[in-house]
C-alpha cells in the first residue's frame, strides 16, 4: 500500500510519520511525505528520531510534485491546514486525518520544546504501528 503523509509544510510531523512507516512497515507500506508549502525539517525532529535509531538525515521537505500521486492509496493528513486544503487528493483514495499539534510551535525552555517533540513523535510512532498492523492483517 502506498501512503502519503501530508502536512502543510512537510516538516516534523509528516517527516517523522514517513520515517516510522519506512522503518516499521517497509514490507507493507511504501511511504511518502509531502507538503503544500514545503519548509525545512526541524533539527529537534531529527534529534528525537535519532533517539529511536531512525535517521532523518537525507530527508528533505518535498512538495506534492515529488510524489507519485496517481499511485497513492491512502492520504494521511497530520495538520488541520492540509486536511482542509487538499480535497483534490481525495478521488478514490482512502483518507485519514491525524490531528496532531505542531511541535515546531512549542515554546519555553529547550527541554520544554523537546518534551513536545517527544510526545508528538511517540503518538506518531503508535499510530504508524497501528496502521502497519491494520494493513498487515488485511
Known catalytic residue at 99: no
Catalytic one among 16, 48, 79, 82?
79
Any catalytic annotation for residue 79?
A: yes
61 backbone dihedrals φ, ψ, rounded to 5°: -75, 130
- For the question of residue 86 being annotated catalytic, the response is yes
Indicate left, alpha or beta for 80 from its phi (over 0: left) and psi (-120 to 50: alpha): alpha
Set 86, 106, 115, 119: catalytic member = 86
How far apart CA 135 and CA 100 sit, in angstroms, is 22
Q: Which residues are identified as catalytic?
A: 7, 79, 86
Amino acid at each position: 500500500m502506498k501512503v502519503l503523509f501530508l502536512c502543510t509544510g512537510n516538516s516534523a510531523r509528516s517527516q517523522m510519520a514517513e520515517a516510522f512507516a519506512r522503518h516499521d512497515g517497509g514490507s507493507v507500506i511504501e511511504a511518502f511525505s509531502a507538503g503544500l508549502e514545503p519548509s525545512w525539517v526541524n533539527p529537534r525532529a531529527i534529534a528525537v528520531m535519532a533517539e529511536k535509531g531512525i535517521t532523518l538525515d537525507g530527508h528533505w521537505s518535498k512538495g506534492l510534485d515529488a510524489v507519485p500521486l496517481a499511485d497513492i492509496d491512502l492520504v494521511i493528513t497530520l495538520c488541520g491546514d492540509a486536511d482542509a486544503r487538499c480535497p483534490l487528493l481525495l478521488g478514490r483514495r482512502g483518507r485519514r486525518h491525524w490531528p496532531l499539534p505542531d511541535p515546531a510551535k512549542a515554546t519555553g525552555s529547550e527541554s520544554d520544546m523537546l518534551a513536545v517533540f517527544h510526545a508528538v513523535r511517540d503518538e506518531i510512532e503508535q499510530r504508524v504501528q497501528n496502521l502497519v498492523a491494520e494493513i498487515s492483517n488485511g
